[in-house]
Structure formats: structure tokens, C-alpha cells
Structure 1
């Protein structure tokens, strides 16, 4: 089945590298890549008469930049079934992304985070935190700025959960798709911080994951005597894992990773690409 991938660009080399990464990630999958540039021209009260000219200039710059990207893609031959469409919008990034998701039924949004690590904590009030918080009904794959090449083998995705909440199959579909596309294993990680046995409900939710992941390679793992964030970091580093998948529930496990209230307590900036799964109605 063809995938629809949305990639915002600001015409930097990092945005271009994100696009190249996406082409390799979906090297063997038919895809339409939607390349989005969102631009804004603020209205200055004293210069209203010049606003139309500024708007036209910004629009032309956006469209020309997107055309240059298409020209650069003509030299790449990852997959003849890859198609490209450009979107230029005079909107803020969140509005432009949400519009594209709704209009084109996007399967995944790819973005790059500034710096060596992926900063996904809303306490730091960065662009990545804002868009992953506000854009609904679509998963994100967030890449570190200094992204690594995809490993040739031993690819694995760490998926932490405390089993307290049930998942819908469609909420983990992007994780399953990624595992299939990459021929990667899913390592389901439970951080046992209180030493209590799983409740009946937790056991049921764990069993449901077995059903969802039946077509991919997966395994269950448990760490004790550690916090969620420290345990995840240690697990990824000890296994040299390639990806991290987080389920972003509006209320529940890991919601604190995206909460202003935990600004001082949380230091969660993985060095691997992070797949953010969203809670769906």
C-alpha cells in the first residue's frame, strides 16, 4: 500500500537531509512525499501598503525553493515508485501541517530536531514540542540533527509502556509499519519502578500487544529499580538500539514527558530517532 509522508522544509541542509533519510527509510515502499514550506508575513501597521508586495515576494521565494528541491530530487533514484508533491502555505507551521494531514490523509510526518539529541519535552518550548503537541491524528518521526545512516542489520525499535492503558490497533499501526519496512524488531520495555506484579488489566493489555505485533519480530523486557527516563536511556545505550517509539497519550503514561509541570524533573532527549504515536479517538 502506498504511504503518504509529509516533510516540512525551511530549505536548510538539515531539512534536505531529512528528506534524503525519508527516501532511504522508504526505499522499497511506494510513497508520495509531500514537501511543505510554511511561511508567514507579519502585518506591520505602519507598512500596510507594502504588505501585498511582501506577501508576493515571500510566496515566490517559497515556491522557488520548493522547485529547487524537486530539481535536486531528479538526480535520486531510490525508488521509481516515489512521487513528490509540493505545498506552499502562508500559515504558521502547525496550521499548515494540520491542513496537509486532513487534506491528504498523511500517514507520517518527518521532522528534524535541532542539536545532537531529539528534544521532545514541551517544557523547553521548542518548535518540535509545539507541533507534536498540537497537530492531531498523525504520528511523527523526529530525527536528530546529526542523524546517522540506517544500519544494514540488527535494527530495533524500543517501545516503552507500563501496560496500564489499552492501545488501539490503529494507534500502533505506524510502529508496526516501521518494523516491517525496516525489517526491525520491536523491544517492548516495562519499567518496574515499584516492584509490584502486573494487575489483571495490565496483563490483558500486554496480551493485546502480542496480537497486534504478531506479524513482526518482538520481545518483552523489564527493568527494575530505575525511573522511566533513566531506564529507557540505559536500555537504548546498552543494546545500541536504533529507534525509540513513544505513545503520546493525552492523559497517562509519558504524558509527563510533554508537560510543563515536570520541567525540572525530566531530562529526556534521546540520541536516536523518535517515533511519536498519537492517541486517536
Structure 2
């Protein structure tokens, strides 16, 4: 996870900066670089407008730098990244050229009465991007990731390099990884087979029968007190129904620890 990108402007400024600080602290451990990204809207390209657009980009970059000056960078390279247009298009485009390893987002910050865990923009990025996504709770302070709870329905991981972020966490922090396999009503016999690379990583393995995925995860979160929850997003799998819409309701799922979402299949 050498290149970590954090979008600005999706939450209140103080909450966003706390998330950038988390990214910096994580990057220091991993030896990575942090990109703090903020979008600006370019004007139509005609006449002298390219000069105006250049100014808008420079103004956005200066705004990012001003925000970053409030943080302790701890020797980590933190790059102000003004992006043209819409985040949902600009981030994948930037990723093609710069190989972003991790995208750090936050849940909705509308308070306890807000019904959403993920809003329209953050939910869309989780659903549509190829980049692994780490969802960090509000004002969550970084601690070494010693215990990981990886929740799956199927033990088959078909997407190439899907496990790389977890492998890097394991090698950096010497983490213990507990695999929780949640068996719901539509569980298939072939789901019990655990992929070789995954099997080699885990410290322990436990299965659970629950009516819903949320019940299974909640039960074992309270039991294991992990530093990180890891799940997979795929067409038929543990969190498939959550990603049908761009938003995720708290009643369907919520995590009060960092949540790592990986692609489980192409």
C-alpha cells in the first residue's frame, strides 16, 4: 500500500483532517505516500478560459496545502492533489496513471440520527472502484493493526492480488488474522473450501450460522475486539446485497472500527 488517497470535502473539515492524519500514520508504518485530493470544476475550454482553469487548479492546491499544514506529517510525503470534475470519474482516472493502493473514506457524519453508514458518494466509490477501500470512523486515531477479523461467506477468492493489502498488513504489523465464515440461508457447500493463499494467512478459522450477515459480524466483533474488520465485495457473496444501492443504511451494516473492503472476484 505505497500510494494512499484520501478525498477531502466529503465530511466536516475537522473530521476529514483526522482521517488524513490516520492515513499519514498508516503510511508511516507502510513506507507509503499520501495523496489528499479535492475536486474543482473546470470551466468550458474556450478563449482565455484555460488560464482561468489553471488558476482554479492552483487555488484548489493552495487550499489543500493550507489544510495539510495543520497536520503532523511525521516525515511522510503528503501530496496536495487537485482533481478536475467529479470524484467518481477523477479517482479511477488518476488510479490508472498512478496505481493507488488504498482509498481511505469515512462513514456519513450527520450524527447519531443520520440513517446512513455510507452516503451517495462514498457508497458509489466503494461499489464502483477497483481500489481497495478503508472506511475509517469519525476521529478514529491510528493504532497498530494487531488483530484482524476477516468476514467471508465463500472461501473462494478469485480476483488476482485481492489479498495483497492484507498480506502487507500482516508483514508490517505481524497481525493475527481470524477468518469468520458466516453461513446464511443461501450458503452453498462449495463455499466451505478456503482458497490456498487465504488459508496460509489466517491464524484461526471459525464458522457461524446467522440469519443475516450483520448478526454474524456483530456477534464476533464483540467477542474478538479486532483492530480491523475485512470484508469482500463481489457479485455473489458476503456483502453482495449491501452494494446493490450506492448508499448503505446503518440498520443493514455499521462498523465502529476501520473496515477494509476488498474485491473478491472480477
Common topology (TM > 0.5) = yes
Work out which of the residue numbers 248, 256, 259 in structure 1 matches 2:244: 259
Q: Which runs of 5+ in 1 are unaligned?
A: none
1:163 aligns with: 154
Name the CA distance, whole Å, in 2 between partners of 1:103 and 1:7.
Answer: 17
2:4 aligns with: 5
User: Could you say which structure has the larger radius of gyration?
Assistant: 1
Aligned length: 260
TM-score by length of 1: 0.77
Work out which of the residue numbers 163, 173, 188 in structure 1 matches 2:164: 173
1:109 aligns with: 103
RMSD: 3.5
Contact 1:33 1:85 in 2 (8 A): yes
Contact 1:257 1:266 in 2 (8 A): no
Work out which of the residue numbers 191, 197, 215 in structure 2 matches 1:202: 191
Contact 1:119 1:268 in 2 (8 A): no
Cα distance change, pair 39–280 in 1 and its aligned pair in 2 (3 A): farther
1:250 aligns with: 235
Name the CA distance, whole Å, in 1 between partners of 2:40 and 2:259.
Answer: 26
The structural deviation recorded for 1:83 is 2.0
Q: For residue 254 of structure 1, give the secondary structure of its aligned residue in structure 2.
A: coil
Contact 1:26 1:181 in 2 (8 A): no
Cα distance change, pair 55–266 in 1 and its aligned pair in 2 (3 A): same
Name the CA distance, whole Å, in 2 between partners of 1:144 and 1:42.
Answer: 35
Cα-to-partner distance string for 1:150-178 (whole Å, 9 max, x where unaligned): 2x68x322111122644345111112222
Cα distance change, pair 225–19 in 1 and its aligned pair in 2 (3 A): closer
2:32 aligns with: 31
The structural deviation recorded for 1:209 is 2.0
1:100 aligns with: 94
2:180 aligns with: 189
Contact 1:119 1:128 in 2 (8 A): no
TM-score by length of 2: 0.81
Q: For residue 180 of structure 1, give the secondary structure of its aligned residue in structure 2.
A: helix
1:64 aligns with: 62
